[in-house]
Every structure is written in structure tokens, then in C-alpha cells.
Amino acid sequence: MKLTIITGASRGLGAAMAGLLIGPTHHLVCMARSALPDLQRRALAAGCALDARRVDLSDIPAAVRTLEESLSGIDPDVVSEAWLINNAGTVLPVRPADQTQPAEIVAGVAVNLAAPMALTAAFLRLTANWPERCQRKVVNVTSGAAHKPYQGWSVYCATKAALDQFTRCVALEQQDLPRGARIASLAPGLMDTEMQAVIRNLPPGDFKEQPRFLAAKQSGQLVAPEAAARRLIAYIESSDFGMEPVVDLRHH
């Protein structure tokens, strides 16, 4: 059985990845604040075990507790592969740093950075003694914004850059272990999801680069989340996964 834990599975890239992984030999743990009726219906029809967990990932102890509860119901002896995909993210707040409220900063950092860090730590700890034949992989979904600064995106850019550096550190640690997990930050490129709609619908003037994102949508440069999900899953399955800690999938 293949086990995949995906955060942010209610829409966009996360929902597309979960949809592609539905199958009789898969056990999916899907986390989001929203319910997942569509995925649950499809999983049921396909004979796929789907554990849908409603959790606000900005509550870090709740996020870790949710992972612990999900894994406590799994028999490690029947798991051939275990993936954690930290996909949930938010582009908000979009505003110059000097106009950003502390609570907005804390929420953005929690969802984009603290939750993936804490879930990675818990996943590695809880699966450390699983049978040797079980391949463990951790994916952190990152962004080109980790490298390119944007006015108004200080929280988003900073959290993605930090997530990449976290991934590099953990990759070094796991490399030194006899049965270490593989880990990588993967950037999917621009996708036609609600996150892009949020950017396009910001009040004009709040985000200097908004016209570029409007043009990207109008000229068809946004990739469908299903296509991005296919590319991401193919990369996770490939022997390349884990060789580089940070990978921009647009260049692969």
C-alpha cells in the first residue's frame, strides 16, 4: 500500500494531486479547513482509503496532532512508500511590510513555513522505525518567489525562501542516516488556481506586479493544476527525487 499525506487538498494543486493518486492500492490522508466531499466520493468509488481531516494548519499543535492521529491508524508493515506533501499555502498578506499587521504575518508564516516544518519533523520521527523497505519522501511545495523578491509579497517570499533552506538542512541530516528519508522543495510554476485569482482580485494599487499576473492569465500562461500535479507526481516517483533539495519543475 502507498501512503500519501497531502495538505491543502481541498482545491488547486493539492486537490489535483489527491485526485491523481486515488486508486485501490493507495491510502490518502488529506488535510484542509474545508470538507472534501468530491474527493471522498471518488475515493469510495475507486476503493481507495481516504482519511479527510479538517484542520487549520495555522494551529501548529492541531496540525501535528492530526498527523499523529492519522498515522496511528496505519500498519507500517503494509506500507511500501510513504509520502508527506506539504502543499497548503497562502499568498496573503499582500501589502507593503510597513502596513502589515502582526497577526497577518504570524498566520502567513504559520501556514507556509511553521506547519510544513512541524509536519516534516513529526512525519520523520513517527516513521523513523518503519520497515526498511518503506521508502519515505517529503515534498515541500515552494515557489519562484523564494528567489525573486516582489514588492508586497514580503511574507510569501520570505516563507518560501525559508522553506527551501529548511529542506536543504533536513536533506543533509537524512543523508547521514542509514535509512534516511528523501526530501525536496519543488516549485510547480504558475498555475490556474484560486491563489492566482486572489492575486488578480487584489485592490488595484496594492500589488505593483498585478498587471503581469493579469497578463499571464489572459495569455494562457497559467498551467492547469492537473497538469502541474501530473508533473510533480512523476518527479516524486522518479529516481531523481531527493538528489537536489530544491527543484524548479519548470526547468525539468
Burial class (CB within 10 angstroms; exposed 0-12, middle 13-18, buried 19+) of 171: buried
Helix (H, G, I), strand (E, B) or coil at 84: strand
Determine, following the binding rule CB under 6 A, whether residue 190 of this chain makes contact with ligand NAP: yes
User: Which residues are paired to 135 by β-bridges?
Assistant: 81
The window from 39-47, 66-74, 184-192, 243-251 that contacts ligand NAP (CB under 6 A) reads 184-192
The window from 29-37, 95-103, 229-237, 242-250 that contacts ligand NAP (CB under 6 A) reads 29-37
Grid coordinates representing 66? Answer: 492530526
CB-nearer residue toward ligand NAP: 10 or 127? 10
CB atoms within 10 A of CB 98: 6
**CA 227 to CA 94: how far, in whole Å?**
27
Q: Which of 3, 6, 14, 126 binds ligand NAP (CB under 6 A)?
A: 14
Q: By rule CB under 6 A, what count of residues binds ligand NAP?
A: 27
Determine, following the binding rule CB under 6 A, whether residue 104 of this chain makes contact with ligand NAP: no
Binding mask 106-125 for ligand NAP (x = CB under 6 A): -----x--------------
Please tell me what DSSP assigns to residue 51.
E
Q: Which of 3, 50, 58, 186 binds ligand NAP (CB under 6 A)?
A: 58
Instruction: For cell 523564494, name the residue.
Output: 146
Determine, following the binding rule CB under 6 A, whether residue 8 of this chain makes contact with ligand NAP: yes
**CA 11 to CA 16: how far, in whole Å?**
7
Residues carrying an active site annotation? 156
Contacts of ligand NAP in 198-237 (CB under 6 A): none
Cα dihedral value 233, 185, 85, 62, nearest 10: -170
Binding positions for ligand NAP, rule: CB under 6 A: 8-14, 32-34, 56-58, 87-90, 111, 141, 143, 188, 190-191, 193-196
